[in-house]
Amino acid sequence: MENSVVNQDSAKLSAHLKRGVLEVDVHRTSVSPESLFGFAERRNPKRAFLFVSRVLGKHIPVKPSVMQHSYKALAAQIPADLPGPVLVIGMAETAVGLGAGVHRAYSETRPDSMYIVSTRHPVGDQIFARFEEEHSHASAHLIHEPKDPQLSEMMRSAKSLVLVDDEASTGRTFINLHRALVEAGLNQVERVVTCVLTDWSAGAVSKSIGKAADQVSLLSGAYHFTENPDAPLPEMPDTGTVAVGEWTVNPENDWGRLGTREVADTLGRNIEVKPGERVIVLGTGEFVWKPFLLAERLELAGAEVHFSSTTRSPIALGHSIGHALNFSDNYGLGIVNFLYNVAPGQFDRVLICSETDAQAVPPALIEALNAEVIVDGK
């Protein structure tokens, strides 16, 4: 059960979960809190609750135009006086698409910016940094060294960092990332900006790094979780693998792991849709930005398009999670993946997009959704 009292400047929300009660105070928001997020329960002993974004396109299907609005709204809040070069980093798995969207909007006025993502799929010869997301179902993150010498030099000479995630709960992951980057050799950084949809961290990053840090978000507030000590802890599937799987990723089709200034809209160029056709475009795991560009193009062509993605994140049914499918991952890592709030028959057409071979996409998922598979580079 979820309850809320909503005002544009403040709101109180709560969710009664199996392991306790989550209470939220919204201090500042530019949109209705309910339009921005809901609640869910993690299948994770380390943290019981999850803020589920309604604009991210990861656990709840979203129209590309709605996602684009959030990209622009966040990018507009990034301070205009950041010294360049500016390195924008999107956090795996959930925010690699959000980071790409923020970078695309931001780069319209800052050509001295580049984008790179943290990842759990090694594709390059050299890892630049590693850091931990302590509460996560998959805690280890990698950041590659760009293969392109110009991008490598741009990253190493960055004077500003823009760190993008869907939400900041304690700010600890951002602090860990900043420390790892400095230790790896980013010694010219003068400014740090954290950029999230929802910020519950009470200025933790600014307090840790100092006056050089800014925190921007669409909503900020505080939460309190009262745990039920008698509630049983869930069993969490092992989804933390960081490795090259049986189905490898072609570095030539890179969209962010090796650094980029701009990603071309090349996926599914031959796909045509009918006006009003109900279509969902699904990314797979970290492969979401090129699929988003496809979804955006199909929406502009007149279809009724939504976007979502498969994920490693184990979440219980209930609250904002009304439907769940589980299946093997398409990288050949032998871990379970999930798709939330996409039911068979819900859409006229389902397009599953993959950066691995079509054979790697689980047949059970294709059959359940009567889906077409779109492969990058094909």
The model's pLDDT over 223-233, given as tens digits with 9 standing for 90+, comes to 999 999 989 88
Residue 308's DSSP bridge partners are 282
The model's pLDDT over 338-367, given as tens digits with 9 standing for 90+, comes to 999 999 999 999 999 999 999 999 999 999
**Does 135 score more than 50 pLDDT?**
no
Strands 349-354 vs 49-53: parallel, antiparallel or unpaired = unpaired
**What's residue 7's pLDDT?**
39
Across the range 87-114, mean pLDDT stands at 97
The model's pLDDT over 31-66, given as tens digits with 9 standing for 90+, comes to 999 999 999 999 988 888 999 999 999 999 999 999
**What's residue 47's pLDDT?**
87
b vs e for 93-124, b when ≥16 Cβ sit within 10 Å of the residue's Cβ? Answer: bbbbbbbbbbbbbbbeebeebbbbbbbbbbbb
**What's residue 378's pLDDT?**
66
Show the DSSP H helices in 228-348 as ranges.
289-300
Q: Are 377 and 250 in contact (CB under 8 A)?
A: yes
Q: What is the DSSP letter of 353?
A: E
b vs e for 54-92, b when ≥16 Cβ sit within 10 Å of the residue's Cβ? Answer: bbbbbbbbbbbebbbebbebbbeebeeebeebbbbbbbb
Mean of per-residue pLDDT scores for the chain = 92
Query: Spelled out in words, what is the top-level CATH class assigned to the domain 264-375?
Result: alpha beta
Proportion of the chain above pLDDT 70, given as a percent: 95
**What's residue 237's pLDDT?**
83
